[in-house]
Homo-oligomer: A and B are copies of this chain.
Amino acid sequence: MIKTCIAGATGYTGAELVKLISGHPDAELTAVTSRSYAGQNLTDIFPALRGMVDITCEPMDIESLKGRIDCVFLALPHKVSMAYAPFFIENNIKVIDLSADFRFKNPKAYEAAYQTHTAPDLLDRAVYGLSEIYGDAIKQADLVGNPGCYPTSLLLPLIPLIKEGMISTRGIVSDSKSGVSGAGRALSLSSHFCEVNESFKPYKVGNHRHVPEMEEILSSHAQESVKITFVPHLIPLTRGMVSTIYAEVTTPTSHEAVMKTLKQYYRPDSFVRLLPQGQFPDTAHVRGTNFCDIGVHVDPDSQRIILISAIDNILKGAAGQAVQNMNLMFGINQRRGLELIPGAI
């Protein structure tokens, strides 16, 4: 059994990790930490868990965790993660960080979007946790920077086509949409029920912090600088994310050719489901699962490729992919504990 600690267990991502690890056949919930709720049982904070989970929140005390755990999930704010990560690494505790702190290779790019990096020497050691793409490296890693939700939804469809040179590196547009849980459990007028309900709107047009993360990864695969146009929107639902991506082909292509390329990257045992021609994703079909569904439309006139992906932003976009990475890091089947069967509703 992999002994795990979830640091920051009382946010939505942390709580989802609690749920996944509690149901994982090869892992156990050894410790949970919370700054605000230390000393309280998790069921006091999430009564839904009553009878299923029985564990008390600890303050984050790295000394007390030494020797007790094999793996820590850092579901903490940016900046806090990089303060703790070095200690865990030194003590042979594998780290899966869900903040942005270990997603970048280039500290300058991180610092431009976030703040000064206090553990830049770890950036080279960290592996970007996009499981289906970096699986081999993740298996060897002791520090994984789990991807952002938007980057996950966008990179999975784009990387194969960029890498194989099927689409142009210029002019990529991603019109993305996220459910409200992406904004977390911290109070904010923009997550206040009456402000979101019966509302749909774009936000952070032209300046979302996930853009440099996506551009760094895409550029590494293209072996040239890739710039994208990205507009996120807020959907009035709890879980779900759709990216509708518009790209130009380099040479005339077909639906069949695009699918053939994608299939080389995403085998049936991965969490990417490639939809048949004429079918497109729906957040409802991936809700509660670790799947990323991808549908493709090639417009014969404009020779533009439309790639549409859907994920559950809390699962494949955060906690689910983190557990998938844990599975890879500990050498077990990546699907363990993630065979979540979706419902019709």
Chain A residues close to B by CB (< 8 Å):
12, 15-16, 19, 22-23, 46-53, 171, 173, 175, 177, 179-181, 185, 187-189, 191-203, 205-206, 227, 229, 231, 233, 235-240, 242, 244, 246, 268, 273, 275, 279-289, 291, 295, 297, 299, 301-302, 304, 306, 308, 310, 314, 339, 341-345
Contacts and interface: CB of A to CB of B under 8 A. Distances in A.
A238 B198 contact: yes
A58 B77 CA distance: 38
A240 B197 CA distance: 12
A231 B180 contact: no
A288 B287 contact: no
Contacts of A268: 51
B198 A198 contact: yes
Contacts of A202: 242, 244, 280-281, 295, 308
B52 A339 contact: yes
Contact of A48 (B206, B239, B284): B284
A185 B175 contact: no
Nearest to A240: B200
Given A205-B297, A314-B345, A180 B194 contact: yes
19 contacts: A16-B344, A19-B343, A48-B289, A50-B285, A171-B171, A175-B246, A180-B194, A180-B197, A187-B188, A187-B192, A193-B193, A197-B237, A198-B283, A201-B242, A201-B310, A203-B280, A229-B306, A246-B246, A288-B288
A345 B45 CA distance: 12
A283 B201 contact: yes
B344 A12 contact: yes
Given A229-B246, A229-B302, A194 B200 contact: no
A193 to B, nearest CB: 5
Given A229-B299, A297-B206, A282 B200 contact: yes
Nearest to A13: B344
A205 B235 contact: no
Nearest to A16: B343
Nearest to A228: B302
A46 B287 CA distance: 13
A47 B199 CA distance: 13
A199 B52 contact: no
Nearest to A196: B193
A116 to B, nearest CB: 25
B197 A193 contact: yes
Instruction: Please name the 5 residue pairs, one residue from A and one from B, whose CB atoms are nearest each other, closest first.
Output: A15-B344, A201-B282, A199-B284, A175-B175, A48-B342
A47 B299 contact: no
Contacts of A239: 198, 345
B341 A52 contact: yes
A275 B237 CA distance: 26
B192 A185 contact: yes
Contacts of A238: 193-194, 197-198, 345
A276 to B, nearest CB: 10
